[in-house]
Amino acid sequence: MSPSLKPATQEKLRRFSQLFPEFYEQFVSSDTQYDNLKLAYQLYKQKQAIITAESAGEQTSLSLAAKNQPGLLRDVFGVLAAYNLSVHKLEVHGQVEAPMLIFIRMKVSRGGRALAGKTADNVRRALREALEGRFEVEEMLSVELFENNRLGSVQTEFYIDQRFHLPALLIESDEEDGMFFKMTNAICPENLLVVNANLLLWRGRTRLILYVLTDRTGGIPDYRGQKIAERVKARLLGSSGSAA
């Protein structure tokens, strides 16, 4: 915690950090924790999602603060897929206690370049409308992308992360267009809340690790988690994989 903050602000930040998973205070930088606190206050005042886009060299820094809900990442990645954006970095911090806010930071690009001003504005607008339920992301996606949710060479795994003490769902596949939408779309029927994420891009393969809870912020026993991983894999391979 930054010593430059006033004692009252430090106390607010301490109480705020306790709403996140146990690892949050230890592994998330003080600057990010403080930024999240300010975003939460802004979210409280504006009563709507906070979405910003800023140029960062050849990429665009996209950040979002909103009320967490199952399927939120699916909507976010659906919008990015519709605009043909590449995701280079992903940072997710979700609360595990009320008010259940989520803070997402990404580095994105299109065609190897940062988003032009008008494109960035359109992406922000589309994200807001999708999160507020004013339209379904399927309306933006091409028929080919929406109807073919399959990914190549998919691996899934469920485990309890011993470092973060959270249920984790790992999905790995070959890199291809719309893959993050397809991954999160396959998870959507499970009705899970994502509270943290790790992303690894390596030699044409993509590994996405999502730390998840039930929509009632409950843990997930191993036997149920294994079934979830199996159903997610089945959906990505073109089977029904209906939730049980």
pLDDT tens string 32-71: 999 999 999 999 999 999 999 999 999 999 999 999 999 9
- Can you give the pLDDT at residue 22? 87
Nearest in space to 183 (alpha carbons), one of 211, 228, 150, 159: 150
pLDDT exceeds cutoff 80 at 21: yes
pLDDT exceeds cutoff 60 at 204: yes
Cβ atoms of 65 and 49 closer than 8 Å: yes
- Can you give the pLDDT at residue 183? 95
pLDDT exceeds cutoff 80 at 146: no
Q: Which residues contact 151 (CB under 8 A, 6 or more apart)?
A: 173, 174, 176, 179, 182, 183, 236, 237
Taking the CA atoms of the chain, what radius of gyration do you get in angstroms?
Answer: 18
Average pLDDT value for the chain: 89
pLDDT tens for each residue of 150-186: 887 899 999 999 888 899 999 999 988 889 999 999 9
pLDDT exceeds cutoff 60 at 244: no
Q: Confidence band (pLDDT; 50, 70, 90) for 202?
A: confident
Report field, pTM of the whole predicted structure over 0.75: yes
Nearest in space to 24 (alpha carbons), one of 90, 77, 102: 102
- Can you give the pLDDT at residue 124? 95
- Can you give the pLDDT at residue 214? 87
- Can you give the pLDDT at residue 240? 64
Kindly list the distances between the CA atom of residue 46 and the CA atoms of 41, 54, 65, 177, in Å, as whole numbers in the listed order: 9, 20, 11, 34
Q: What is the mean pLDDT of residues 190-217?
A: 90
- Can you give the pLDDT at residue 2? 55
More confident residue, 176 or 109: 109
- Can you give the pLDDT at residue 143? 52
Per DSSP, 126 falls in state H
